Amino acid sequence: MRSHPVHPLDINGVNKHAAELYHCIYYQVHGIETCCLRLANTYGPRQLIQNPSQGVVGWFFHQILCNEEIVLFGDGKQIRDLTYVDCVLDALLLAGIHPSAPGKIYNLGSGEPISLRDLADLMISIAGKEQLPVCSLPGRKKENRYRQLFRIIFPDS
């Protein structure tokens, strides 16, 4: 069913993985023809760009258009795969009609990952703004609110 095991790193990842497994079980047990597509950073026309949670490409566009410094967390070597929205649409339609798709989980991406630093530099160059600064800040730690909440609930731990 999948080529490599999934090890979610946060609550959101656990929820997504659980949903995938539900779809597989509904297919295996009830014959409901479902499949899952894991979409890698979709970008394209009419993408929302005012919020960093709407995708890295859109947020970089926002920062470039507003002549803002692009801020990377960590060293910028983190890699991301990207998928153009038309390719996502094609994949969704194909998954809906392909006879071997039901019960499967697919990773959808370009297969050509790029580092965040290289992506920022490429987008700046394409926009013709070679002087736009890119800043790297120390990486954000995953400890954040979950660990803080744990300390509040279990202060003696």
pLDDT value of position 144: 56
pLDDT value of position 72: 86
pLDDT value of position 133: 73
* Terminal-residue alpha carbon distance, the chain: 40
Query: How do the pLDDT tens digits run along the chain, 157 residues long?
Result: 444 567 888 898 889 999 999 999 999 999 999 999 999 999 999 998 988 888 899 999 999 999 888 888 888 899 999 999 999 999 999 999 999 999 999 999 999 999 999 999 999 999 988 777 777 776 655 555 556 666 666 666 5
Spans of all domains in the chain = 11-153
Question: 11-153, what's its fold?
Answer: Rossmann fold (3.40.50)
Exposed/middle/buried for residue 54 (C-beta within 10 Å: 0-12, 13-18, 19+):
middle
Cβ-contact 57, 84 below 8 angstroms = no
pLDDT value of position 5: 66
